[in-house]
Amino acid sequence: MEEKQRINKYLAHRGVGSRREIDKLIEMNLVKVNGELASSGQKVDKNDKIEINGKLIEGYKEKKVYFMLNKPQGYISAVKDMREKTVVELIDVPERIYPVGRLDLNTEGLLILTNDGDLYNKIIHPRAEIWKTYIAKVWGRVTEEEIIKLQEGIDLEDGVTLPAKVNLQRAYDNSSWVEISIREGRNRQVRRMLKAIGHHVIYLKREKLGELTVEGLEVGQYRELYQEELDYIFSL
């Protein structure tokens, strides 16, 4: 069953106007729901008969939209949450979008949000095997032997990981920077892999998703996907 929405949001999704403009129409008594004057904050769905100045609002197929977000820390990859801020709150569009995959609360970086289930399935389906590239700062000096373990696969509680692409970027006495690419999507996988070799993650950012890169986007910023990026995803 479709969840009812506030009437200004519902009509904004259908291209009638902005929420503020719709509220003004309601204040002017130009909007009716099922033959009665609409009220501000009233909730409706597709089963309601909505008229604006006597004109019936027909059903509307929502426009497909595609965004890349450089996710900041402190937001979870969800549409709604009672306790935490969500990534959807960072993108101000009338369409009902959702994140493709997940980055945990304290991980930054590239996240795709859309309302297109076909694109969602292209990225999420295991058959795609899209490499996801992360930059991690960890406690302690990572050794070449530990890099080899990551490359060959780590035995986690939910099974052995697939071989990863790993490069040790910088190593100091008390910390190291590691680039790691994986083609799975297990929960908190990179953090768990690094913990399994004895290194707690201090900072984690996803920089690439296949050929897509977050380069040029400041943390917290978003943009629409370019056509060549969409072509690439749908070609997978």
Selected catalytic residue, list 92, 104, 118, 155: 104
81 is catalytic: no
- The answer to whether 155 and 166 have CB atoms below 8 angstroms apart is no
d(CA 179, CA 202): 14
Terminal alpha carbon distance of the chain: 32
- Give, in order, the Cα–Cα distances in Å from 57 to each of 4, 43, 156, 199, 205: 16, 15, 54, 58, 44
Active site residues: 104
